[in-house]
Amino acid sequence: MTSPKNGQKIVGLAPNREHSFYGRDIVSVKQFSKQDLGYIFTVADEMRGIVKRVGATDLLKGYVLANLFYEPSTRTSSSFIAAMQRLGGSVIPIHGVQYSSVSKGESLPDTIRTLECYADVIVLRHPEMGASEIAARYATKPIISAGDGIGEHPTQGLLDLYTIYSELGTIDGLHVAMVGDLRNGRTVHSLARLLRMYDVSLTFVAPEILRLPDDVKGELTEAGRPVREMGRVEDAIEEADVLYVTRVQKERFADLRDYEAVKGCYEITPELMSRAKQRMALMHPLPRVGEIRYDVDDDPRAAYFRQMENGMYIRMALLAAVLGKA
């Protein structure tokens, strides 16, 4: 976790300045201890309870979030906006920045330092890896990364892990299978890195050219987590407690015949689901473009829309935590 910032950064009524999340940036899944994760999940559970019972709270009434998106991401930006609003706070939506003056010549640090004059917390989505770290270095108010290029997307990693915990009641002892483009999928890397801290078995299912990078694999084996790799989802589904599916993008293949040959192995159908455990979770970060058939949606194990919903609870928990109000 990055270093705490100076005390004058948070306006508002009596934030809990003692708490370890107060004033912190959220820029990498690597910053969390297992204890941190347990704490965030407990707060997320509370947020879910509030939303289900009464829709919203006034916890962040009077707080302002600057939602700064240098590239479009309707899903993530909407999730953060709803999270802030259900906490009673308000949002400055700064989307489509590519068309705006902040992209003309001004440095990211200056933009960040300007926005923190207006807002209490900044969510940043940026196309370049490392942008969140730079923003966090210059900001005196908390920065929450909403993804930077091929770098991290830490809140996605947290919501994925929280979904496993929510769906199955535990993380330790599970068998997690990840499917699809494991090479380029940053959600896969973030989730794998978080799972490293738990007693899990991992299976990675991907065509040869889209296998998990060696550095991520190395981190897992170093942490003592058993890792298996295979090429067909049929071989992994039966023992999976979690099946985490991602897109296999056509354009990653040099030879389209290779793509046509493998894509069927990565399409989840009702037939395939009939071979899975009765109690398991089928996940996907969405959007999907054919990896999970629509007629799987009614399967009670299809967890991907609950996963979306969990994203809002996780973001509510993080916003409340970094503002000292969790």
CA distances from 308 to 79, 173, 279 (A): 8, 24, 20
- For residues 287 and 304, give the distance between their C-alpha atoms in angstroms, rounded to a whole number: 10
Q: Among 19, 30, 113, 252, which residue sits at the site for a copy of itself (rule: CB under 8 A)?
A: 113
Least distance in angstroms from the C-beta of 14 to a copy of itself: 10
Told to check if 223 binds a copy of itself by CB under 8 A, we report no
Among 74, 170, 221, 269, binds a copy of itself (CB under 8 A): 74
Please identify which residue in 7, 38, 49, 72 interacts with a copy of itself, judged by CB under 8 A: 72
Instruction: Verify binding: residue 158, a copy of itself, rule CB under 8 A.
Output: no
Pairing relation of β-strands 121-126 and 64-69?
parallel
Binding region for a copy of itself (CB under 8 A) out of 38-46, 99-107, 221-229, 230-238:
99-107
- The reply on whether position 63 binds a copy of itself by CB under 8 A is yes
- CB of residue 272 to a copy of itself, shortest distance in Å: 20
Measure the CA–CA gap between 189 and 161, rounded to whole angstroms. 12
Stretch that binds a copy of itself, among 68-76, 125-133, 213-221, 224-232 (CB under 8 A): 68-76
**For residues 278-297, which are near a copy of itself according to CB under 8 A?**
286-289, 294
User: Where in 13-42 is the site for a copy of itself (CB under 8 A)?
Assistant: 13
What's the closest the beta carbon of residue 194 comes to a copy of itself, in angstroms? 21
Q: Summarize as ranges the residues that interact with a copy of itself (CB under 8 A).
A: 11-13, 51-57, 61-64, 66, 72-75, 78-79, 81-82, 85-86, 90, 92-97, 99-102, 104-106, 109-111, 113-115, 117-120, 286-289, 294, 305, 308-309, 311-312
